[in-house]
Amino acid sequence: MSQRNRLGAGGRIDRKRALRFTFNGVSYQGYAGDTLASALLANGVDVLNRSFKYARPRGVVTAGADEPNAIVQLGATEAGQVPNVRATQQALYDGLVAKSTNGWPNVDRDVMGVLGKLGGKFMPPGFYYKTFMSPASAWPKYEQYIRKAAGLGRSPVENDPDIYDHMNHHCDVLVVGAGPAGLGAALAAARSGARVILCDEQEEMGGSLLDSREEIDGKPAAEWAAAAVAELGALPDVLLLSRTTANGYHDHNFVTLHQRRTEHLADVAPLADGRRQARARMHKVRAGRVVLATGTHERPLVYARNDVPGNMVAGAVSTYIRRYAVAPGQRLVLSTTNDHAYRAALDWHDAGREVVAIVDAREAPDGELVAAARARNIRIITGSAVIEAQGKKRVTAAVVAAIDIDGFRVKGNTSELACDTIASSGGYSPVVHLAAHTGSRPVWREDLLGFVSGSVPGQIPAGGVNGRWALNDALADGFEAGARAAAETGLSASAFTLPTVAPVREGKPVALYQVPHTKPAMRAPKQFVDQQNDVTASGIELATREGFESIEHVKRYTGLGFGTDQGKLGNINGMAIAARVTQQTIPDVGTTVFRPNYTPITFGAIAGRHCNEFFDPRRYTALHAWHVERGAKFEEVGQWMRPWYFPRGSESMHEAVQRECRAVREGVGILDASTLGKIEVQGKDAREFLNRLYTNAWTKLDPGKCRYGLMCKDDGMVMDDGVTACLATNHFHMTTTTGGAAGVLDWMEMWHQTEWPDLEVYFNSTTDHWAAMTVTGPNARKLLAELVDIDMSAEAFAYMDWREAKIAGVPARIFRISFTGELSYEINVQANYAMHVWKALFDKGAKYDLTPYGTETMHVLRAEKGFIIIGQETDGSVTPEDLGMQWAVGYKKPYSWIGRRALSRPDTKREDRKQLVGLKPLDAQLVLQEGAQIVLEKEIRIPMPMVGHVTSSYFSPTLGHGFALALIKGGSQRIGQTVYLPMADGKVHAAEVVSPVFYDPQGARHHV
C-alpha cells in the first residue's frame, strides 16, 4: 500500500531505509525514523483501535506519551508480546507486528460497537456497578465477560525470552528532558564541570526543537540541538540517555529512569556481538540536583464527537508534518484558544495542503503567527470554536459556531466546514507529574492557564514545565537552571552566552476547556474528556451531580486519568468541567495525585536480573560439590542449600531417612553441619557478656569445655540456642542456629552498644571460616581414632569437651557434643581443607558403612531425644520452662540477664501455659500432621477449646512407631492422657501424651 499521506520532502526520516511492518494483519511500509503512529498515518490508517467502554473507532490524537487511543499489542511471537504500547512512542523497525488492543472481530467491524452505539446513552459512569448489582454472588461471572469486552491488551503466556537489568548512578545534575530547556541546562551544568545525566523519552534528543519553525543562532533549531548533543556527548562526565523515561521521582533526588535499549530494533532483544543484551535497563540515579525540563502537553478542546479519527491536538499535526513528513489528511480546520497552535495551520499550509479555516475562540487575535496565517490568506473565524465533529470513521466536517465563553453558550447559527482533520488547542499544561511524585502539589498559574510544579527541595524546573514557553525564554531558563544546579552542588558555574533566538510575539490566550454546544452536555453528542477511559463531559457532570465532588472521587467514579496516559491529555479539562459544574475555580478543585510510573513500564525492568538463579542468593558449604555428586536432595534453610537426604538407588525419601536413622543409631553417620552460625567472642568481659546474653551461667566453664546455652528475648521467650565452647579464659566459640546467625550477632551488638558499652568484648562471625562435620553413632570413636592424633578415650575426651587435634593431617577443633543422642563429635576445620578431611573420613569410614545423612534424619534423631529446634518447637511465645528446660535457666546468677525480668511475670509462671510434650499416636503407623490442632474430647463440636498443636512429627525406625512433639496447655500435667486431633478430612486421630524424650532418657548412649 502506498504511503499516501507521506510528504515528498522534509522530515527527519530516512527515505532510503524503507521498513516493512504489519498492523492487524495488513502489511505496510514506513521509513527509518518513523514511529509506528507516523507510519500508520502515512499509510492513511485512520482507525487504530476501538474504545475501552463504548467501542468507538479511534485514531491517533497526539505524537507522544499523552496518546490515549493508539495503544497497540506488539509482538511477532507469543513470547514477545508487549501490551499497551503507545504507537506514538514506538519506533518503527523492520518486521514489526502490531495489533489493535481492542476490537473484536476487528477494529473496523466491532461487535461491541453495536452495544456502544445503542447503549452509549445508557452507559453512564458506574454503569457496570449499577447494572450488575445483583445477585452479588454473580459478579465474578459478570466481571469475566465485562473484562473480555474491555481491557487493554494482554500479557504473553510464554516466558519472556529477554533479560533486563539495573544500573546505579550518582551525578551532580540530572536533567530530565532534552528539549531546549533541558539541552541548555545540561550544557550549562556540564560546562561547569558537573557530572551530568541527560535523559529523554524520545528516540532522538531535541524535543520541540525537532519540529520547530524557529531558528537558533541563525540555524534551524534542530541543527542547534544536534550540535548541543554532540558537545555533551564528547564530555567524559556526561551520560546521554535517549529512549529513557524518568518514570519515578522519589525522595532525596532518587530518580528511576527506564531505558528501552532494544525496543527500537525488534520485539525480542537481538544479540550484540553475539552476546545477550538487556532489553530494558532501570537506571537508579542519585542526583545532587534534578533539573526538570519536561515541557508541556497540549490540551485538546472538548467538543462533541471529538473522538472521531481525524481529531488531533494541534501540536501533533506540526510534529507529524515537520518531523515525520506526514500530513495526516487533506483539509484542516484548526480550533484554538491561543497563538501558538497557529503553527499547525502554517505547517499544514506550507506542506501544500488546504487549511479550510482557523477557528479562534478569541475576538481579536493579533500575534505574529496570526499575522503569518493572514499573510497566507488563511481564513480565520474569530470568537468561535468547533463545537462538533461530523463523520464516523473519519472526520468529514467541523460544525463551527460563535460562542459566549463566559455564558457557556453558543451564540447564533452554526455552520459546517467540510474537512478531514480537526486540530484543536486549548492551551498547554506543564508536565508536572514527576515533581508531583515527591508529594508536592501543583500550583495553578492563571496567567498560564495551567498548573506548574510546587517546590521540591533540590529540584529546579526549567522551560515549559516552569511556564517559560517561548523558545528564547525556555533556552534562557534552561541555561540558568543548569548553572544554578551546578553551583548548588558546589561547582563554580562557568559563564555562558545564550544562543540567539528572535522572540516571537504571541497574543494572550483565552481560557476555554469544554466547548459549549447548542444542546446541553447531557443531550449533546458525546464530548470526550479522557478518550482512553471513555470519560465524557456529561459523565463528569453526572458524577458531580451524584455527589462525587472531590476530584479524587470523580476520577475513581468515571475513570478519568487512569490507563496508560494517566490523564496527561484529559485531566485539566476534566477538572475545568468539574469546576464549572460545581461553580468553583480550577485550583479549588485541584488535581489528582500523580504517582509513578510516568508511562507504563515492563515488570522485567523492575525485576532486573533479580530473577531465577539470582532471585535470592543461594549459600553453599565447602562440601556442596560432594553432596551433589552423591545425589543428595537439597532443602533450602534460610538461604543455605543443605542436603535433605541422600537417596541410594531408587529409594524414596521415607526409605532413605529410615536407613540414615538406623545407620546413626547402629553404626556411624556423618552430617555437614557447616551452616550452623558461629560467632567468636573475645575480650576480658566475654564471659560476663555470655552470662547476660544466655539464660544459663558461664562463670565456671573452663577452657576445653562446651556448654549448651539458651537465649531469650527481653520478653522471656526463647529466641535461639546452641553450644558455646570456652577456647581460653577470655575467648569463646559460640554457635547459633543456621537461620539465627545474623540476627544473634546483631542482637549481641545491639545490647553491647546500647546497654553495656563498658564491657570489653568483641564479636565476629566465623560461620564461613569453619566447615563443620558431625560424626555420630556407636562407631564414631572407632572411625575418628583412625584419623586423629589425640587420645579419643572417654576418659581423655569426655562428653561436652572439645580438643584440638589433627585429622587426616589437618588441624581441627573437635567438639564432643551430641544432637542425635549418640556418641558424637563435631569436627571443625578451616573451610578450605574441609573437602580433604571429609573424603578422608569416607576413605576410612567405608568399613563402618559411614552414612551421610541430611537435615530430615537430623530432625528425626533429635526429636526422638526431645531436643528442640528453634522456630519449630518455638514461635516467639515459648519460655524455657514451657520447654521443660528449667535446668538451663540460672535464676541465681548475680547480674540480671536478658529475659529474666519477663520470666518472673505471673503470665510466664502460669501452670496452664502451653508446654512441650511428646505424643504417641494410638495407631502406631500413623504420622501426625505437623501443625495439627489438639483438643481434649473425641466428639467434635464447633467451637471447642483447642489446647495446642503438633510442632514436629516423624516416623521413628528405632521406636517402630510414629511420634510427635507438641505444645499443649498444661501439658506436663497431662502425661498419660489421650488427646485428639481433628483433621480437615473429618478423621479424628487419638494420641497419648508422653514425655518428649522418646529415646534413651538417661543419656547412656552418648556417655560412652
Q: Which of 137-145, 245-253, 391-399, 680-688 is the region at the interface with other proteins (rule: CB under 8 A)?
A: 680-688
> Does position 815 bind other proteins by CB under 8 A?
no
Which position among 354, 366, 746, 804 is part of the footprint of other proteins (CB under 8 A)? 804
Q: Which residues neighbour 360 within 8 Å (Cβ) at sequence distance 6 or greater?
A: 336, 337, 370, 380, 381, 382, 383, 384
> Roughly what angle, to the nearest 10 degrees, separates helices 180-191 and 471-488?
30
Which position among 135, 274, 894, 976 is part of the footprint of other proteins (CB under 8 A)? 274
> Does position 169 bind other proteins by CB under 8 A?
yes
CB of 884 within 8 A of CB of 868? Answer: no
> Does position 609 bind other proteins by CB under 8 A?
yes
**Minimum distance, C-beta of residue 678 to other proteins, in the bound complex (Å):** 9
Q: What single-letter DSSP state applies at residue 788?
A: B
Three-state secondary structure call for residue 512: coil
Q: What single-letter DSSP state applies at residue 310?
A: T
Whichever of 166 and 393 has its CB closer to other proteins, that residue is 166
The Cα–Cα gap between 660 and 140 comes to 51
Q: How far is Cα of residue 204 from the mean position of the Cα atoms in its chain? A: 28
Whichever of 619 and 974 has its CB closer to other proteins, that residue is 619
Which position among 314, 540, 632, 831 is part of the footprint of other proteins (CB under 8 A)? 831
Which position among 703, 876, 960, 1003 is part of the footprint of other proteins (CB under 8 A)? 703
Restricted to residues 617-656, the positions that interact with other proteins (CB under 8 A) are 617-622, 624-625, 628, 640
Restricted to residues 742-781, the positions that interact with other proteins (CB under 8 A) are 760, 762, 764-771
**Minimum distance, C-beta of residue 729 to other proteins, in the bound complex (Å):** 5
The Cα–Cα gap between 509 and 405 comes to 13
> Does position 826 bind other proteins by CB under 8 A?
no
Which position among 95, 809, 876, 1001 is part of the footprint of other proteins (CB under 8 A)? 809
> Does position 168 bind other proteins by CB under 8 A?
yes
Whichever of 791 and 804 has its CB closer to other proteins, that residue is 804
> Does position 829 bind other proteins by CB under 8 A?
yes
Q: Can you say whether the dihedral through the CA atoms of 277, 278, 280, 285 is positive or negative?
A: negative
Place of cell 540555524: 219
Q: Which of 149-157, 430-438, 611-619, 777-785 is the region at the interface with other proteins (rule: CB under 8 A)?
A: 611-619
The site for other proteins, by CB under 8 A, has a size of 68
From residue 772, give the alpha-carbon distance in Å to each of 629, 780, 803: 19, 15, 14
Which position among 18, 114, 138, 272 is part of the footprint of other proteins (CB under 8 A)? 272
Q: Which of 33-41, 163-171, 399-407, 656-664 is the region at the interface with other proteins (rule: CB under 8 A)?
A: 163-171
Which position among 46, 165, 203, 506 is part of the footprint of other proteins (CB under 8 A)? 165
Which of 172, 252, 184 lies closest to 217 in space, CA to CA? 184
> Does position 284 bind other proteins by CB under 8 A?
yes
The Cα–Cα gap between 837 and 279 comes to 47
Which position among 129, 142, 603, 614 is part of the footprint of other proteins (CB under 8 A)? 614
> Does position 808 bind other proteins by CB under 8 A?
yes
Cell numbers standing for residue 356: 479550510
Restricted to residues 212-251, the positions that interact with other proteins (CB under 8 A) are 237
**Minimum distance, C-beta of residue 853 to other proteins, in the bound complex (Å):** 21
Pairing of strands 731-736, 762-765: unpaired
Compute φ and ψ for 913, nearest 5 degrees. Answer: -65, 160
Which of 153, 56, 165, 159 lies closest to 113 in space, CA to CA? 56
Q: Which residues neighbour 495 within 8 Å (Cβ) at sequence distance 6 or greater?
A: none
| Residue 688 burial class via C-beta count within 10 angstroms: exposed 0-12, middle 13-18, buried 19 and up | middle
Q: Which of 27-35, 273-281, 535-543, 968-976 is the region at the interface with other proteins (rule: CB under 8 A)?
A: 273-281
The Cα–Cα gap between 451 and 302 comes to 19
Q: Which residues neighbour 12 within 8 Å (Cβ) at sequence distance 6 or greater?
A: 33, 204, 210, 222, 323, 324
**Minimum distance, C-beta of residue 608 to other proteins, in the bound complex (Å):** 9
Whichever of 241 and 664 has its CB closer to other proteins, that residue is 241
> Does position 680 bind other proteins by CB under 8 A?
yes
From residue 832, give the alpha-carbon distance in Å to each of 268, 854, 915: 44, 22, 43
**Minimum distance, C-beta of residue 788 to other proteins, in the bound complex (Å):** 13
> Does position 610 bind other proteins by CB under 8 A?
yes
Q: 1004: how many CB neighbours lie within 10 A of its CB?
A: 9
Which position among 78, 406, 447, 613 is part of the footprint of other proteins (CB under 8 A)? 613
CB of 49 within 8 A of CB of 110? Answer: no
Q: 680: how many CB neighbours lie within 10 A of its CB?
A: 16
**Minimum distance, C-beta of residue 633 to other proteins, in the bound complex (Å):** 18
Cell numbers standing for residue 563: 490507563
Whichever of 402 and 493 has its CB closer to other proteins, that residue is 493
**Which residues of the shown chain bind other proteins in the complex (CB under 8 A)?**
165-170, 195, 237, 272-278, 284, 286, 609-610, 613-614, 616-622, 624-625, 628, 640, 675, 680, 682-684, 703, 727-731, 760, 762, 764-771, 804, 806, 808-811, 813, 829-836
